[in-house]
Amino acid sequence: MEPVAKDQVVHFSAAVSLLGRFPALAGIDLDVERGEVVLVQGPNGAGKTTLLRACAGLIPVVSGEATVLGCDLTQAADRTAVRRRVGLLGHASGLYDDLTVTDNVHFWARSCGATRAEADAALATLGLDGRLAGVVVAKLSAGQRRRTSIAALVARRSELWLLDEPHAGLDQTGRDVIDRLIRSAASAGATVIVASHEVDRAGAIADRTVTIAGGTVVTEPPGPAAPDVLASPRADMRTERRQNDEGVEPQQDVLHVS
Amino acid sequence: MFRDAALVAGKDLRIEWRSRVTTNQVAPFAVLVLILFAFALDPDRGVLQRATAGLFWIAILFSALLAVQRAFALEAADGNRDGLRLSGLRPAGIFLGKAGAVALELAALEVLLGIGVVVLYNTTWSGWLLLITTSMVATIGLAAAGTLYGVLAAGLRVRETLLPLLLLPVVAPVLLGATQAFEAALDQSASNGWSWVVLLSSFAVIYVAFGILAFGSLLEES
C-alpha cells in the first residue's frame, strides 16, 4: 500500500465494496485532503451512498486500498475505529420517533462524547431551540426531521462529514443554514464529502466535483462545473475504458450524469 | 461501559414512557394471558393454585418476547442501528443498556402479575426472600438472553416470527428453574428452592458475559 499523505483524509485506490455479491464500488479512486469540500455526483445507483457508507466504516472494502483518517477500511478494527470520527447524514433520519427533538439530539451527542451544552448549541444553530425543542419527532415535518438530524450531526463535531443529499426536504432557510454549516466546518478544518443531485446548489460550496457511475470515478474535474467535465477527453477515455471492461452501452454514463 | 449502558437504558425507558407501549400493550397482554388461563382452568380452582408459578412465568416469558421485539424494533426504524454503530458507544454498553431497560420493564410486569395471580387465582405469596431473589436472577437471565437473540434476529425480515423460535427453547431453563423456585417458596419449603436459584444465577451470568463479549459482532452482522 502507498503511504498516505499526512493531510490526506480519504484515500481510495481501486477500492471495491460489495453489496451482497454486487460490486457497488467497482475499483474507485478518490483522494480528499483535509479541509476540502468535495461534491460527489452521479446517476441513481452510481455508488454515491455506498461510497459515503464505506467512508464511514459501515461497509467493508474487500479489495484495493481504502484509508479514511488514517484508518485502513479493509480491516474490521479500523472500520470500527473510524466511525466515531466521522458524521454521516444519510437518507434515513436516524431519529427515535417517540423522543423529542431535544432528547434525540442530546442522546446522539452524548453517545459520541459531546456535552449537553454542545448539543444545545447545535439545536440553536439549526433553529430548533424554541417551540420545536419539546416536540416528539413523529410529529415533525420531513424538513424539520432533516434539521434535527443535521443538529445531531453538528453536535458530533466530526473530522469528516459525509452528507447524502443534505438539502433534500429543506426549505430555503434550511438550505442556507446547511451551506453555512458546511463552509464553517471546512474552515474549521473538517473535511466534507457531499453526495447530491443538486449540482448547482452543492457545487457552489464545493471545492471540486467528482462524478461517479457504475461504482467508479468517471471524471474528477478541477472545478464544480460538471457538464464541461463530461465533454473532457479524460471523461471520454474513462467512460470508454469502463465500456470495454464492463460491456456497458456507450451512452450510459453520459446520459445519467446531469 | 456503564456510562454507555446508562445512556442507552435511559433512552429506551424514556421512549417506553412516552410511547406507553409497555403500559398500554405489553401489560394488558400479560394480564390477558393470566385471565385466559383462569378461564381454561377455572372449573378446578385447585389446579390454578397449584399451577400458579408455571402460569406466572409463562405469562412473563410471552411478555418478554414482546418487550425484546419492541426494544429492537426501535433500532430497526429509520437508520437508528447505523446511528448506534457510528456512535462512540461501546457494544457491551449498548447490550447492558438494552438488557437493563428490558429487565426493568419485566420487573414492573412481574409486580403487576404478582398482584394479578392473587386476585385471579386466589394465591397467597410466601417465602418472600426466595421469591424476590428468584425474580431478580430470572429477569436478568431473560433480559440478557432476549437482548442477545433480539439483536441476532433484528436484521432479518422475518424477525417477528423468528425471535420466538430462537428464544423460547433457550430460556426453557429459566422457566423451569423459576417455576420450581416459586413453587418451593409457595410451599414454604424454601430450602428446596435455592438450588434452582443457583441454576438461574448461572444462566444469567453466562448470558450477561456472552452478551458483553458477542453483542458487538452480532450488531455488525444484523
The ipTM estimated for the assembled molecules is: 0.81
On chain A, the residues whose CB falls within 8 A of the CB of B18 are 98-99, 136
| CA–CA gap between residue B163 and residue B167 (Å, rounded) | 6
Do both A4 and A61 map to the same domain?
yes
Q: Does B3 touch chain A (CB under 8 A)?
A: no
The minimum CA-CA distance between B89 and chain A, rounded to whole Å, is 6
- Contact check, Cβ <8 Å, A83/B85: yes
Do both A164 and A58 map to the same domain?
yes
- Contact check, Cβ <8 Å, A107/B88: no
User: ∠ CA(B166), CA(B169), CA(B170), 5° rounding?
Assistant: 80
Q: Does B85 touch chain A (CB under 8 A)?
A: yes
- Written in H, E and C, the secondary structure of B145-196 is HHHHHHHHHHCCCCHHHHHHHHHHHHCHHHHHHHHHHHHHHHCCCHHHHHHH
DSSP 8-state secondary structure symbol assigned to residue B25? I
pLDDT for the residue numbered A243: 42
State what percent of residues in chain A have pLDDT above 70: 82
Q: Does a structural domain hold residue A122?
A: yes
Model confidence over B11-56: pLDDT tens digits?
999 999 988 888 888 889 999 998 888 888 876 667 887 888 999 9
Q: Does a structural domain hold residue A174?
A: no
Do both A255 and A164 map to the same domain?
yes
Do both A62 and A164 map to the same domain?
yes
Burial class for A117, CB neighbours closer than 10 Å (0-12, 13-18, 19+)? exposed
Q: Does B24 touch chain A (CB under 8 A)?
A: no
Do both A62 and A100 map to the same domain?
no
Cα separation values, B85 from A218, B79, B80, Å: 31, 10, 9
Model confidence over B70-79: pLDDT tens digits?
888 888 877 7
The minimum CA-CA distance between A208 and chain B, rounded to whole Å, is 27
Q: Does a structural domain hold residue A32?
A: yes
Do both A7 and A53 map to the same domain?
yes
Cell numbers representing residue B125 in the block: 405469596
What's the domain count of chain A?
Answer: 2
Q: Does a structural domain hold residue A222?
A: yes
Q: Does a structural domain hold residue A90?
A: no
pLDDT for the residue numbered A238: 39
Q: Does a structural domain hold residue A26?
A: yes
Do both A149 and A135 map to the same domain?
yes
pLDDT for the residue numbered B49: 79
Do both A9 and A75 map to the same domain?
yes
Q: Does a structural domain hold residue A173?
A: no
pLDDT for the residue numbered B112: 93
Q: Which residue has the higher pLDDT, A95 or B76?
A: A95
Model confidence over A158-204: pLDDT tens digits?
889 999 988 887 888 888 888 888 888 888 888 999 998 888 888 88
The whole model's pTM is what?
Answer: 0.82
Do both A56 and A127 map to the same domain?
no
Q: Does B43 touch chain A (CB under 8 A)?
A: no
Cα separation values, B137 from A185, B95, B131, B140, B146, Å: 49, 17, 10, 5, 14
Mean pLDDT of A84-109: 90
Q: Which residue of B has its CA nearest to A84?
A: B88
Q: Which residue of A has its CA nearest to B14?
A: A99
Cell numbers 439549526: residue: A126
Q: Which residue of B has its CA nearest to A55?
A: B86
Q: What is the CATH number of the domain that holds A50?
A: 3.40.50.300
State what percent of residues in chain A have pLDDT above 90: 16
> Looking at the predicted structure, is the pLDDT value of residue A126 above 90?
no
Do both A125 and A100 map to the same domain?
yes
The minimum CA-CA distance between B33 and chain A, rounded to whole Å, is 28
Host domain of residue A120? 96-157
The shortest CB-CB distance from A58 to any of B82, B88, B89 is to B82
Burial class for B65, CB neighbours closer than 10 Å (0-12, 13-18, 19+)? buried
Confidence of residue A221 (pLDDT cuts 50, 70, 90): low
On chain B, the residues whose CB falls within 8 A of the CB of A107 are 7, 11
Do both A189 and A245 map to the same domain?
yes
Q: Which residues from A are below 8 Å from B when comparing CB atoms? A: 56-58, 80, 83-84, 86-88, 90-99, 103, 107-108, 110-113, 136
Query: Are B130 and B194 within 8 A, CB to CB?
Result: yes
Do both A79 and A140 map to the same domain?
no
pLDDT for the residue numbered B197: 92
Q: Does a structural domain hold residue A17?
A: yes
Q: Does B94 touch chain A (CB under 8 A)?
A: no
Cell numbers representing residue A9 in the block: 483524509
